[in-house]
Amino acid sequence: MRLVPSSLLAVGIVLITSSCQNRPASTADPGAAAPADKSQQAGFTPLFDGISLDGWTVRGSDNQDWRVVEGVIDCDPHEGPGDRNLWTAKDYGDFELLVDWRIKESPYINRAGKIILPNGTYKKDDSGRDVLIEVPNTDSGVFLRGQHKSQVNIWCWPIGSGEVWGYRTDPALSPEVRAGVTPKVRADRPIGQWNTFYIIMKGDRLTVRLNGQLVIDDAQLPGVPARGPIALQHHGDRKDGEWGASFLQFRRISIKELDLPSNQ
């Protein structure tokens, strides 16, 4: 893959350093995301008890990656066969979801990162090739309704977290759909600090707030299943490269189901 001149590379790196710089991780981080307001908390049910992985499952033959450490779900990612993502045991349809997450560290580099434009396409150079930049190599996300495609992404690219990779990169979808799943703002906090997703899924429509800022606004996900489990994504690569290791932690995870019978 062709790398850009150093001047363009410097510009790309400047775009990410304000929110993707390594800082010491601590489970008592003073920059932690603030709790949701009472209107968001009302009616929410915890999916994580702070003690165990009860209610969650790994579909692979073993679990070397996910542990509860000091009250948070900690991912220590390894390569291995099978599905190594962490899935809820229960399926969900329409819901509101609160997830606190943070990148613990990002020791590896992706030297083929791309600059995503507001319409979901990649920035090109004068020869029509994608402009490539170096970015910290960490990658995870939240799968919605049982599939990788409807993933609310967590990473260190300049566009910020919250984009829906599987829909943004699908050439069969309309430009409107691909633009809709591209973040409107970058709202990530620096590496080592806590962030909060507030995700609303109704029918085939998705809204995402990150740290209180609207990043995805009523985006359409054509063909998304009506119900399915939620998952925390696993990436195992412990090396420089295109895909980053999931050096992530998650803590408060709670859900409000919007399609339950009124007597529940």
pLDDT in tens, 123-147: 999 999 999 999 999 999 999 999 9
Q: Is 198 in contact with 209 (CB distance < 8 Å)?
A: yes
Domains of the chain: 6-257 (2.60.120.560)
pTM score, whole prediction: 0.86
pLDDT in tens, 153-183: 999 999 999 999 999 999 999 999 999 999 9
- Band (pLDDT 50/70/90 cuts) for residue 7 is very low
Residues in the chain: 264
pLDDT in tens, 21-80: 555 444 444 334 445 444 457 899 999 999 999 999 998 777 889 999 999 999 999 888
